[in-house]
Amino acid sequence: MIFKTRGENDELELFQFLRVRKKLEIEEENNFTYLEKGWLGEKQFDNMLLDLPNECLILNNLLLKVNNTFFQIDSLLLTQKKINIFEVKNYEGDYFFKNDRLHMISGKEIKNPHIQITRSESLFRQLLQELRFNIAVESQVIFINPEFYLYEAPVNAPFVFHAQLGRFLKNLNETVSASTISGSHMRFAEKLASLHITQNPYSRLPAYTYEELEKGIVCRGGCGCLDLEDSNRHTLICKKCGFVEGKESAILRSIEEFRFLFPEKRITVDVIYNWCKVIKSKKIIQKLLSKNFDLVLFGRGSYYVDKMKK
Ligand SMILES: [Zn+2]
């Protein structure tokens, strides 16, 4: 069973919001593509693990720290006698292995995931010692993409290629079927989940300011543009793809986006009016804010906050 879900990827979400409203640098755009692809691969692997029997605990996306060193685990599977840690790679295309290094066919060297997982495994063992939980640990790199090919793949590396995944999962299935999860496993999983660090110290987020971002409401119809038209009382229509959305939900979405991007800024009618840009009537925004938020009276600087729970 899933003990800790992968959750949302704030980093990816930030990129998704920003790239509609700002031209990203090439390096940022590459970083986004890499993150998005990796995330998709991890989600795919999550789905595969869902078919395992219940006598296991799955913890997805753990960022942990031991002796002041951070390490990340894409997926962790806890069974009665063993912990598997998985590093999922969604690489695509032809690669080759030479002198313990991984290269794209163009020659460009990329991080060797074997080294990466060996490091994570070693740090994880240290953490186990600290927590005084004695259990065998095994790690694997999962190459999830069927379009990935590795020339000169080392036979003894802990790699699982797409063509091997079916058999690999079948073996896991047998291990889990023979396993029994006890209270101490549950407590250990709880402890691990509680140690997960939410703020990723490695994230390289693009810098941005309110002023430089293009304003408007993002179309939800899949085209993702900002070209919505307010020509109707209750709905907005996308000039590009024709998608129609209720005005209220579109504005609320934009408020959430604004809060995500600018958690330190105060929400006022004027701010949201400027941010949404396409909404003609300030009144609608004011009504919506009053309905969904509490007003903090502060003269001309009155602003809205989350509703107090009653
Ligand atoms: Zn559209």
Dihedral sign (CA 29, 223, 91, 59):
positive
Asked if 85 and 144 sit in the same domain, the reply is: yes
- Whether residue 120 is contained in a domain is answered as yes
Question: Where in the sequence is the domain holding 145, given as residue range(s)?
Answer: 2-195
In order of 25, 39, 198, the CA distances from 201 in angstroms are 21, 18, 9
Q: Average pLDDT for consecutive 10-residue bins of the chain (310 residues)?
A: 91 93 94 94 96 96 95 97 97 94 94 94 97 96 98 94 97 95 96 92 85 96 91 92 95 96 95 96 95 90 85
Q: Which two tokens stand for residue 289?
A: 């804010």
Asked if 134 and 28 sit in the same domain, the reply is: yes
Domain count, the chain: 2
Q: Which two tokens stand for residue 243?
A: 């998608």
258 close to 272: Cβ distance less than 8 angstroms: yes
Name the residue type at position 280. Answer: K
Ligand 1 centre from 179 Cα, in Å?
Answer: 50
- Whether residue 164 is contained in a domain is answered as yes
Ligand 1 centre from 218 Cα, in Å?
Answer: 8
- Whether residue 234 is contained in a domain is answered as yes
Ligand 1 centre from 4 Cα, in Å?
Answer: 35
pLDDT of residue 310: 62
- Whether residue 91 is contained in a domain is answered as yes
- Whether residue 214 is contained in a domain is answered as no
246: Cα separation from own chain's centroid: 28
Asked if 163 and 258 sit in the same domain, the reply is: no
Asked if 33 and 98 sit in the same domain, the reply is: yes
Asked if 129 and 274 sit in the same domain, the reply is: no
- Whether residue 53 is contained in a domain is answered as yes
- What proportion of the chain, given as a percentage, has pLDDT over 70? 100
pLDDT tens track for 253-270: 999 999 999 999 999 999
pLDDT tens track for 78-133: 999 999 999 999 999 999 999 889 999 999 999 999 999 999 999 999 999 999 99
φ/ψ (deg, to 5) at 50: -60, -25
Asked if 260 and 131 sit in the same domain, the reply is: no
Ligand 1 centre from 305 Cα, in Å?
Answer: 30
